[in-house]
């Protein structure tokens, strides 16, 4: 790559050494090859500064831009998180289409495009992240920018039949086609993207995997995101957190870790676990579900409703089935430090990852990486997590079916050691081979490597 790599994501990390899987991967990638990372400074600012301002330099530069209160409400809380997020997660009924929000979203993208235009040199390569910036490349093309532009969508690609629920549906294909590479988590996402272009524009996929549409040609690329598997395994081995859990020796720990989000299927998970507790045979071990789920996006109404539903479901199950020395569901609504989390994963006999829709779900991969290969726990994984495409050796379940979830819990908690080891070995291979470094390489090779046909 001759030019610089310019990365754009919604929020710019402000710490010198950022933590958290994706942020670390992007930091490492920029440290290795130099470049610039650009993102918003986060919350709404009472006195937002004009333009981009530098917040760090070194192996690469970091620049932030501020959002006004109106921009934060319309672009971030409004359009990105109350329109695009529910629609792309197949929950169109949770969309809140409000006057001014689409305009605010487009205006932030147009403002950022104008700032970027002044920044870009001809050889620079731009890598844009996620649904906050879907129209950014189209805005840049309008300004005459011809640089290579790639995009990675971290969340699922919407189903074509849901797209008309988006008031800006007619613009969506133009936003996507403005990129050179449009990265998606799974082949199923790529297929949905292809169908959208076929249905709306009659544009088919070529032999080289590209789609010609809206006066351009772009590559939809399945590029499943990974984790630093070896690093996470080492953290789990060193962590003492598992030992801090006090449970009777005949009881098993089942773990759930999620941002508190309706896409994660937490109410259904509690109900599935409740069904296990209720229908448990004598041969099935007693188990406690430890659910760690810190709140997110609390300003959005759908999140408040879900939090109430979850409290009610957990309360009912604990009230109904709990005993003096045993609480079926333990629910922690706070973030947990990463090394503690890794130790808890390692201690858990089963990892319960049951989203109703999820781009990838890194928790599934972290759970596998954290296990002791000589005595591993069992991953129970929703069919609707992007991770299910790579992780067929997990117990794959339908998260809407409480009976099936209870059955999988029974199977996981009574599974013979040989089967646990064999399943874990297969899962570990996929997690360690297609790790976070593999993901950045695959995407950047497609974006900068010139023969697109080779990666399709």
Q: Which is nearer to ligand ADQ, 3 or 295 (CB)?
A: 295
Residue in 27, 101, 154, 179 annotated catalytic: 154
Q: Is 366 in the site for ligand ADQ (CB under 6 A)?
A: yes
Q: Which is nearer to ligand ADQ, 169 or 336 (CB)?
A: 336
Per CB under 6 A, the segment of 27-35, 202-210, 335-343, 374-382 that binds ligand ADQ is 335-343
Contact pick of 294, 373, 403, 449 for ligand ADQ (by CB under 6 A): 294
Q: Is 256 in the site for ligand ADQ (CB under 6 A)?
A: no
Q: Is 292 in the site for ligand ADQ (CB under 6 A)?
A: yes
Burial class of residue 118 (count of CB atoms within 10 Å of its CB; 0-12, 13-18, 19+): exposed
Phi, psi of 330 (to 5 degrees): -110, 130
Does residue 101 carry a catalytic annotation? no
CA distance 194 to 199: 9
Alpha-carbon separation of residue 55 from 31, 36, 166, 372 (angstroms): 16, 11, 36, 41
CA distance 440 to 258: 24
CA distance 61 to 59: 7
Does residue 284 carry a catalytic annotation? no
Q: Is 225 in the site for ligand ADQ (CB under 6 A)?
A: yes
Q: Which of residues 432-451 bind ligand ADQ (CB under 6 A)?
A: none
Q: Is 188 in the site for ligand ADQ (CB under 6 A)?
A: no
Alpha-carbon separation of residue 150 from 24, 130, 173 (angstroms): 19, 11, 15
Looking at residue 152, the DSSP 8-state letter turns out to be: E
Q: Is 22 in the site for ligand ADQ (CB under 6 A)?
A: yes
What number of chain residues touch ligand ADQ (CB under 6 A)? Answer: 20
Q: Which is nearer to ligand ADQ, 57 or 296 (CB)?
A: 296
Contact pick of 231, 295, 335, 437 for ligand ADQ (by CB under 6 A): 335
Asked if residue 168 lies in contact with residue 47, where contact means CB atoms within 8 angstroms, the answer is: no
Q: Which is nearer to ligand ADQ, 21 or 265 (CB)?
A: 21
> Minimal distance in Å, beta carbon 293 to ligand ADQ?
6
> Minimal distance in Å, beta carbon 250 to ligand ADQ?
28
Residues 6+ apart with CB under 8 A from 360: 154, 185, 186, 224, 225, 385, 386, 387
Q: Is 228 in the site for ligand ADQ (CB under 6 A)?
A: no
Burial class of residue 24 (count of CB atoms within 10 Å of its CB; 0-12, 13-18, 19+): middle
Neighbours of 94 (CB within 10 A): 20
Asked if residue 172 lies in contact with residue 163, where contact means CB atoms within 8 angstroms, the answer is: yes
Q: Is 34 in the site for ligand ADQ (CB under 6 A)?
A: no
Q: Which is nearer to ligand ADQ, 95 or 290 (CB)?
A: 290
* Strands, sheet with 53-56, edge to edge from the N-terminal-most edge strand: 53-56, 61-68, 35-45, 5-11, 125-129, 148-152, 181-184, 216-222, 211-213
Q: Is 295 in the site for ligand ADQ (CB under 6 A)?
A: no
Neighbours of 150 (CB within 10 A): 25
Burial class of residue 2 (count of CB atoms within 10 Å of its CB; 0-12, 13-18, 19+): exposed
Q: Is 154 in the site for ligand ADQ (CB under 6 A)?
A: yes
Q: Is 155 in the site for ligand ADQ (CB under 6 A)?
A: yes
Per CB under 6 A, the segment of 109-117, 171-179, 255-263, 279-287 that binds ligand ADQ is 255-263
Q: Is 64 in the site for ligand ADQ (CB under 6 A)?
A: no
Residue in 162, 180, 261, 358 annotated catalytic: 358
Asked if residue 222 lies in contact with residue 295, where contact means CB atoms within 8 angstroms, the answer is: no
Residues 6+ apart with CB under 8 A from 8: 37, 38, 39, 112, 116, 126, 127, 128, 129, 133, 136
Asked if residue 158 lies in contact with residue 88, where contact means CB atoms within 8 angstroms, the answer is: yes
Q: Is 258 in the site for ligand ADQ (CB under 6 A)?
A: yes
Per CB under 6 A, the segment of 212-220, 254-262, 399-407, 419-427 that binds ligand ADQ is 254-262
* Diameter over CA atoms, the chain: 69
Q: Is 361 in the site for ligand ADQ (CB under 6 A)?
A: yes
Q: Is 112 in the site for ligand ADQ (CB under 6 A)?
A: no
> Minimal distance in Å, beta carbon 49 to ligand ADQ?
28
- State whether residue 187 is helix, strand or coil: helix
Q: Report the Cα–Cα distance between both ends of the chain, in Å, rounded.
A: 20
> Minimal distance in Å, beta carbon 103 to ligand ADQ?
26
Q: Is 415 in the site for ligand ADQ (CB under 6 A)?
A: no
Per-position x/- string for 341-360, each x denoting binding to ligand ADQ as judged by CB under 6 A, each - no binding = x----------------xxx
Contact pick of 102, 120, 219, 362 for ligand ADQ (by CB under 6 A): 362
Residue holding tokens 């209160």? 69
CA distance 14 to 304: 28
Q: Is 241 in the site for ligand ADQ (CB under 6 A)?
A: no
Q: Give the binding site for ligand ADQ (CB under 6 A).
A: 21-22, 154-155, 225, 257-259, 292, 294, 335-336, 341, 358-363, 366
Which residues belong to the active site? 154, 358
């Amino acid at each position: 790559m001759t030019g610089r790599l310019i990365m754009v994501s919604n929020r710019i990390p402000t710490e010198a050494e950022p933590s958290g899987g994706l942020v670390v991967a992007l930091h490492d990638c920029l440290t290795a090859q130099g470049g610039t990372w650009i993102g918003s400074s986060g919350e709404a600012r009472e006195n937002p500064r004009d333009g981009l301002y530098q917040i760090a330099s070194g192996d690469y530069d970091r620049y932030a831009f501020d959002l006004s209160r109106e921009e934060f409400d319309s672009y971030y809380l409004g359009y990105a998180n109350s329109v695009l997020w529910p629609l792309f997660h197949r929950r169109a009924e949770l969309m809140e289409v409000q006057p001014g929000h689409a305009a605010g979203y487009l205006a932030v993208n147009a403002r950022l495009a104008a700032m970027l235009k002044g920044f870009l040199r001809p050889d620079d390569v731009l890598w844009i992240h996620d649904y906050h910036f879907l129209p950014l490349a189209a805005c840049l093309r309008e300004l005459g920018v011809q640089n290579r532009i790639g995009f990675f969508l971290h969340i699922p690609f919407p189903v074509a039949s849901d797209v008309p629920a988006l008031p800006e549906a007619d613009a969506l294909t133009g936003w996507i086609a403005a990129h050179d590479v449009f990265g998606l988590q799974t082949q199923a996402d790529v297929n949905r993207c292809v169908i959208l272009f076929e249905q709306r524009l009659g544009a088919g996929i070529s032999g080289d995997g590209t789609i010609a549409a809206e006066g351009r040609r772009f590559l939809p690329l399945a590029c499943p995101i990974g984790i630093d598997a070896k690093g996470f395994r080492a953290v789990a081995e060193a962590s003492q957190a598992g030992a801090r859990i006090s449970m009777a020796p005949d009881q098993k720990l089942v773990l759930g870790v999620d941002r508190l989000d309706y896409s994660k299927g937490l109410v259904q998970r509690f109900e599935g676990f409740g069904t296990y507790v209720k229908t448990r045979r004598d041969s099935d071990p007693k188990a406690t579900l430890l659910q760690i789920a810190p709140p997110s996006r609390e300003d959005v109404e759908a999140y408040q409703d879900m939090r109430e539903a979850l409290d009610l479901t957990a309360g009912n199950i604990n009230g109904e089935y709990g005993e003096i020395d045993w609480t079926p569901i333990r629910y922690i609504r706070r973030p947990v430090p990463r090394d503690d989390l890794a130790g808890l994963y390692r201690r858990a006999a089963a990892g319960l990852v049951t989203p109703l829709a999820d781009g990838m779900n890194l928790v599934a991969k972290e759970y596998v990486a954290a296990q002791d290969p000589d005595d591993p726990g069992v991953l129970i994984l929703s069919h609707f997590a992007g991770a299910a495409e790579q992780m067929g050796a997990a117990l794959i379940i339908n998260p809407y079916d409480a009976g099936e979830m209870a059955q999988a819990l029974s199977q996981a908690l009574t599974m013979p050691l040989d089967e646990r080891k064999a399943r874990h070995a297969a899962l570990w291979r996929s997690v360690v081979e297609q790790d976070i470094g593999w993901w950045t390489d695959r995407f950047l090779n497609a974006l900068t490597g010139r023969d697109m046909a080779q990666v399709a």
